[in-house]
Amino acid sequence: MRVKIEKAGGFAGNEETVAAYDTDDLPEREAAKVYGALTAVQSTTGHEAGGMGAGLVTYRIIVGDGAGKVYTVPGEPSPGLAEALAVLLGAAA
């Protein structure tokens, strides 16, 4: 499964890809962590209160190809969501 994470926002309005990988290329243990983190993101992002406005950073997690799922995570997420985001960002390292 392909995963791409984009960081957008800030005062300059910059947008950049901060991670991109395929779970098929990861060791089984790392891939399992990614799947767990994506489950946490999926169950939390619909309930996460995110602010809107200039200067705020957000992360877009794009799962799959083309018409895949897209989750938006605020730059200052709740602790559980922050942990899941850290796993997703770390998997590309």
**Lowest-confidence range among 3-7, 68-72, 84-88?**
68-72
The Cα angle at residue 51 between residues 46 and 52, in degrees rounded to 5: 110
- pLDDT score for 20: 93
In terms of residue numbers, what domain contains 16?
2-90
Report the chain's mean pLDDT, rounded to a whole number. 85
This prediction has a pTM of 0.82
- pLDDT score for 53: 56
Encode pLDDT of 23-80 as tens digits. Answer: 999 999 999 999 999 999 988 865 444 445 556 888 999 999 767 788 988 888 888 8
CA atoms of 40 and 74, how far apart (whole Å): 14
CA atoms of 30 and 3, how far apart (whole Å): 13
Report the domain count for the chain: 1
